[in-house]
Amino acid sequence: MGDILITDDERDIRELISDILIDEGYTTRLAGSSDECMAQIAKTPPALMILDIWLKDSNMDGIDILKTVKRDNPDIPVVIISGHGNIEIAVAAIKQGAYDFIEKPFNIDQLLVVIRRAMETSRLRRENVALKRGDVAGADMLGESAAFRTLKSQLDKVTKSNGRVMLTGPAGSGKEISARYIHANSNRSGAPFVTVNSASIEPDRMEEVLFGREDGPRGIEPGLLEEANGGVIYFDEIADMPLGTQSKILRVLVDQRFQRVGGTDKIQVDLRVISSTNRDLPAAIEAGIFREELFHRLNVVPIAVPSLEERREDIPLLAEHFIEVFNKAQGLPLRKLADDARALLQTMIWPGNVRQLKNVVERVLILGENTGDIAARELPSGEDHGGSDEGRIVLAGGLATLPLREARELFEREYLLTQINRFGGNISRTATFVGMERSALHRKLKSLGVVTSTKAGSRVAYIEEDAQ
Ligand SMILES: Nc1ncnc2c1ncn2[C@@H]1O[C@H](COP(=O)(O)OP(=O)(O)OP(=O)(O)O)[C@@H](O)[C@H]1O
């Protein structure tokens, strides 16, 4: 819920506040002097500070600490404790950027209200910054299919717990957006969501990036674990993590503490860990490239994210959602999907899953006809989707929009017409090739309205006008 640093020179007071806050579900750290307080902040900046104005036997008083904090860590809300009758000093503290003050002797309920409000304000401020940066909150996760509803109900079950989740599923299926959904709906939503993309970090820089360093050119440089403090750390494609780093992460999960590179102090962080993979981790363990113990630590709640194939009925909904997203974000035309395009999208092969669908929608909006509904002819051809790879026939636009009986008639008519013309109008050869009795073929052609006649010396098949 949040890590609170309490600084007061009176031991009884800091311990009393700490007990109350722990009962409320917060974690606390205690400091009895300005030096201890500054050392704690340097170790890990807390989510909130409760700071006594008068600190006996300290190098700095509360106001000096406040000024330093507001200069170096302006996002930490600071609640000041002032002695009774020290209103002017408390007001001066607020002018220096303190969130609020409480007077000694304080009332517990009042203290808790101030802390809750301070946490809430700081969460909203961070969310605003995130929205301005364009981060997705994860709330825009769409779907109505049975496979999607199963996923959503599993995600909903884990939002309120702190359990480690392992998301499995093919590339682009929505593992990261699922992790963001968990975060956005948990009580950590105000705290950061930090992604560790193991494949894009140089293996020899991995530890520095994760754990930070103490001897950097700018002094202490916090790593991603510290940045995520209070929130979620998301290990994207965990199987790409080098074995050496796997051991170190395992140790962090066991101890809940780590050291920055070049440092000696143990840093404590409060993190929820969510990982993802599209690989077969048991096979990676077998092959000696993934640590079994780490797998068991991360795989506490396994959740499978379905491929787009398993949720084809969501395709039109997702495509229309992406059209709106690209309209808002890039001013691309707000077009609807024509029935044939909708049907074609649902029959195509999507090895790249939702990400590929999103890319196709963007491409059509940029390169397509720009007016009217999006038609099937504007969509990429079957080859673009490797349709033959998995043995699926990508249907010609029209067929996919018809009920089976009509689609079958349309197909049979086109098919037989093509075959008869291939065999120069010779019904016997056509019948042998298509595997029908000659008389049965005649009856079929009649019912489909296909006739043959001799034109300019060669026999051709065509469709009677009124049969079309
Ligand atoms: N249900 C959904 N509703 C809306 N958008 C979605 C949904 N699922 C996925 N997306 C979008 O599809 C894209 C790919 O999703 P995401 O990055 O979560 O997939 P992933 O499985 O983590 O991919 P990778 O395996 O490559 O890391 C993102 O732009 C995401 O916002």
Q: Separation of 427 CA from ligand 1 center, angstroms?
A: 53
pLDDT digits (tens, 9 = 90+) for 134-187: 444 445 899 999 999 999 999 999 998 889 999 999 999 999 999 999 999 998
Q: Separation of 356 CA from ligand 1 center, angstroms?
A: 9
| pLDDT at residue 329 greater than cutoff 50 | yes
Question: Ligand 1 within 6 A of 143 CB?
Answer: yes
| pLDDT at residue 276 greater than cutoff 50 | yes
Say if pTM beats, i.e. exceeds, 0.80: no
Fold of 147-304: Rossmann fold (3.40.50)
Looking at ligand 1, which atom is closest to the CA of residue 141? 3
1.10.10.60, 3.90.320.10, 3.40.50.2000, 1.20.1090.10: which CATH number matches 404-467? Answer: 1.10.10.60
Looking at ligand 1, which atom is closest to the CA of residue 358? 12
List all residues 6 or more positions away from 404 whose beta carbon is below 8 Å from its beta carbon: none
Q: Separation of 138 CA from ligand 1 center, angstroms?
A: 10
Bigger pLDDT: 122 vs 133: 122
Fold of 3-132: Rossmann fold (3.40.50)
Amino acid code (one letter) for 304: A
Q: How confident is the model at residue 388 (pLDDT cuts 50, 70, 90)?
A: very low
| pLDDT at residue 340 greater than cutoff 70 | yes
Q: What is the Rg, in whole angstroms, of the alpha carbon atoms belonging to the chain? A: 32
Looking at ligand 1, which atom is closest to the CA of residue 314? 1
* CATH 1.10.760.10 for domain 308-401: no
pLDDT for position 178? 97
Intervals of CATH 3.40.50.300 along the chain = 147-304
Ligand 1 binding pocket mutation candidate from 176, 325, 328 (most atoms within 8 A of CB): 176
Question: Ligand 1 within 6 A of 155 CB?
Answer: no
Question: Ligand 1 within 6 A of 358 CB?
Answer: yes
Ligand 1 binding pocket mutation candidate from 354, 357, 358 (most atoms within 8 A of CB): 354
Question: Ligand 1 within 6 A of 354 CB?
Answer: yes
| pLDDT at residue 207 greater than cutoff 50 | yes
- Dist CA 442 CA 344 (whole Å): 33
pLDDT for position 386? 41
Intervals of CATH 3.40.50.2300 along the chain = 3-132
Question: Ligand 1 within 6 A of 320 CB?
Answer: no
- Dist CA 93 CA 359 (whole Å): 52
pLDDT digits (tens, 9 = 90+) for 73-88: 888 999 998 876 677 8
- Dist CA 260 CA 43 (whole Å): 10
User: What is the rounded average pLDDT of the residues 375-383?
Assistant: 74
Question: Ligand 1 within 6 A of 173 CB?
Answer: yes
Looking at ligand 1, which atom is closest to the CA of residue 177? 18
Q: Separation of 144 CA from ligand 1 center, angstroms?
A: 16
Cis peptide, bond prior to residue 380, ω within 30 of zero: no
Question: Ligand 1 within 6 A of 355 CB?
Answer: yes
Looking at ligand 1, which atom is closest to the CA of residue 180? 18
For residue 243, which phi and psi values (nearest 5 degrees)?
-55, -40
Question: Ligand 1 within 6 A of 175 CB?
Answer: yes
Closest protein CA for atom 5 of ligand 1: 141
Return the half-sphere exposure (C-beta side, CA atoms, 13 A cut-off) of residue 130: 18
Question: Ligand 1 within 6 A of 360 CB?
Answer: no
Start-end of H helices in 228-314: 243-255, 281-286, 292-298
Question: Ligand 1 within 6 A of 141 CB?
Answer: yes
Q: Which helix (H) or strand (E) holds 101?
A: strand 100-103
Q: Mean pLDDT lowest for which of 122-131, 324-333, 367-376?
A: 122-131
Any bridge partners for residue 101, and if so which?
Answer: 80
| pLDDT at residue 389 greater than cutoff 50 | no
**Strand-pair category, 257-258 with 267-268:** antiparallel
Going by the DSSP 8-state scheme, the letter that residue 335 receives in this structure is: -
Q: Separation of 358 CA from ligand 1 center, angstroms?
A: 9
- Dist CA 328 CA 333 (whole Å): 9
List all residues 6 or more positions away from 71 whose beta carbon is below 8 Å from its beta carbon: none
User: What is the rounded average pLDDT of the residues 55-83?
Assistant: 89
- Dist CA 66 CA 38 (whole Å): 11
Q: How confident is the model at residue 18 (pLDDT cuts 50, 70, 90)?
A: very high
pLDDT digits (tens, 9 = 90+) for 281-326: 999 999 999 999 999 999 999 999 999 988 988 999 999 999 999 9
| pLDDT at residue 355 greater than cutoff 50 | yes
Amino acid code (one letter) for 117: R
Intervals of CATH 1.10.8.60 along the chain = 308-401
Q: Which helix (H) or strand (E) holds 328?
A: helix 315-330
Q: Mean pLDDT lowest for which of 161-170, 225-234, 404-413?
A: 404-413
